Amino acid sequence: MGRIFRKTGIFLLCILLMSGRTFAQETETNVSQTDDSEAAGQDALAIESPSALLMEASTGTVLYEKGAHDRRSPASVTKIMTVLLIFEELEKGTIRPTDEVVTSAHAKSMGGSQVYLEEGEKQTVDTLLKCILVSSGNDASVAMAEHIAGTEMEFVNRMNREAARLGMKDTHFVDCCGLTDSEEHYTSAYDIALMSRELITRFPKVFDYTTIWMDTITHVTRQGSSAFGLSNTNKLLRSYDGCIGLKTGSTSRALFCLSAVAERNDIRLISVIMAGPDSKTRFANAASLLNYGFGKCRLYVDETPPTLPTIRVRRGTIETTECKYAGEFRYLDTQGQNLENIERKLELAEEAEAPVKAGDAAGRVVYLLGGKEIGSVEIQFAADVEKAGYLYYLRKAWEAYRV
């Protein structure tokens, strides 16, 4: 199980899982292959929009796709990447929700959907996030981009680097809000799902904003103070049970786009629509995909994996070391299998040889259903163990002698 230790024995533990939820990771999570009945169910959906995709968020499992890798203009769905970078900066502490952002002339000049910021106007990061995620403010997006990166184009460079990191192979951005009419600004339904999943998984606080239906901000300028109402552009918030986000978009080039997130019975789905012919069809197609997914999916989460024994360490400065699971195991079933029949098998070396580093692989727990492996979670050493040298043994001998 790695160059740092010799596997002198395999400790196997088989446990029949009781029903319920548990703890571990999706280090390797699988879903059953699509059968004929599932394919027929997908065909029956009749999604009019040319590009669509449905993804289960926790595992990344794709449940439905149509033209999912076709490159299209995303319009304001672009702002998902913008918001992802904003939350990354908040996480790093380089900006704070209470920080004031000054609107530039460039930000003020944005057309399309906007919250009518004036040049020199100050708003907090928290307020601008609200403007972006509720009312899809182009001016608010540019103001935040400039605040973080100095210029919008430098921020866009960061957006493209992040897209590459996420494996968004059919994506290239030229602005931070999606207002552009350039052919060089494009993404795909699959890539939208990838960045949506990254945002909602890493930063669930985004739902504090995307679930706002209506709110008010205050403009304070040289002309005085005035209230401005925000209204959410995602109409599924009111029409679809369980909808909690995420972002709409529409331009003459992009037509009508949407990344919708909904949650029911601990299952969270991402429904992406691109180039819908009209707004009504966009929302109806997204809802159809969500209905399809919630009707098929059951999620197994192992919240109580087997207790891990300590491992002996040969020639180490300590005799044993603790182990830990790399994360949580999740399995998404779409075929109505009996998840109570999932079995676990612990594969773990009884002994390791120093030096050992925290995070190195020590074994894995394997999950089986119907005798077939459906996934596994790596088991890691929990702490560093240094190799014992001459001085260590000399000190131990001296301590024994003194006793």
Do 249 and 178 contact (CB within 8 A), yes or no? yes
363 by DSSP, 3-state: which?
strand
Is 252 part of the annotated catalytic residue set? no
- Cβ within 8 Å of residue 332, ≥6 positions away: 29, 31, 56, 58, 59, 61, 297, 298, 299, 300
Catalytic one among 136, 141, 259, 376? 136
Annotated catalytic residue, options 58, 73, 76, 271: 76
Apex 111 CA angle, 224 and 183, nearest 5: 155
Element (H, E) at 146: helix 138-149
3-state secondary structure of 251: strand
Output 112-116 pairs: Cβ under 8 A, ≥24 positions apart: 112/76, 112/138, 112/177, 112/179, 112/251, 113/76, 113/137, 113/138, 113/233, 114/138, 114/139, 114/140, 115/139, 115/140, 115/217, 115/228, 115/230, 116/219, 116/228
Q: Which of 49, 51, 73, 79 is catalytic?
A: 79
Catalytic status, residue 136: yes
Give the list of residues 6+ apart from residue 166 with CB closer than 8 angstroms, or none. Answer: 191, 194, 195, 198
Distances (CA, A) of 222 to 100, 120, 122, 225, 228: 17, 9, 11, 8, 16
Give me the residues paired with residue 84 across strands. Answer: none
Q: Do 354 and 314 touch, CB atoms closer than 8 A?
A: yes
Q: Catalytic amino acids?
A: 76, 79, 136
